[in-house]
Amino acid sequence: MTLHTTDFGTVEVHTWGSGDHPLGLVHAAAAGPGSLSRLARELADAGWFCIAPALHGYGRTWVEASSSPVVAQATVLDWTVRTFGLKAMFSHSMGGLAALFARLPLSGLCLYEPILFDVLDPTEDADVLVDERAMIARMEELLSVDDPEGSVATFVERWNEVPWAKLSPNARAQLAASAPRIAEEMRSTGAAKLDTATWGAAPPTLILHGDRSPVIARRMAERAGDRLPHGSVRMVSGAGHFAPVVQPRAVADAVSAFLWSRVGAVPAVYGSDAPD
């Protein structure tokens, strides 16, 4: 791990591998770079040099005077791309929203279930929107009565396929301490909108989603695929929202298969069997 001083604050960066092909990895809300360590090792074995910044508020990363968490995350990603000369990136959940919002000059982008409320239709998707707003309201209510654990447990039970009770005591304590920030991130992602120019600026993009994920995540993936000028959508069988964390091999295979040709290289894992 290295800590970088920038003109907007500090950025904590984690790396894996030593290949010639740098690949940015962006974590989800309520997670951190360490959550992608298993995925990073799979990708490093495939020939990538993985670079994972901690987003604003995670680890020791802090963006001074930012207007919202989404803007702060986009600032971190823009700096990461420029500093490390990235042409390829994988982003998970909230990180996917930040990657699109930042209009990054990439050759290829792979997103796993990006959180994009803006693509949902108020009428056609009213069912899932009502449920999500109820979750956020419940999180806020529990924070107001000084129950941070209950607040973040509400979020985890909806989005994470691992039940709250099965998380380690240390993980539950860390998440509870972060409950106010997570609630703020939920508000920020819910309000974020991508204009036509931002959608048009997106690089060739693969959106992945699991068949066991929340319905709202699958709909976001499908709707976003329709918005992207050079986008495609692929389902990962047997996977939920946190597949990049708990099923890294399946996600790594899909990421590498899509991105290797976008950067003009064939990672070693494919060799003569590289996909068309």
pTM reported for the whole predicted model: 0.91
In whole angstroms, what is the distance from residue 189 CA to residue 97 CA? 8
pLDDT in the model for residue 165: 86
pLDDT in the model for residue 264: 67
In whole angstroms, what is the distance from residue 200 CA to residue 27 CA? 24
Sign of the dihedral through C-alpha 258, 244, 143, 68: negative
pLDDT in the model for residue 251: 96
Give every residue of the chain whose pLDDT is below 70, as ranges: 264-276
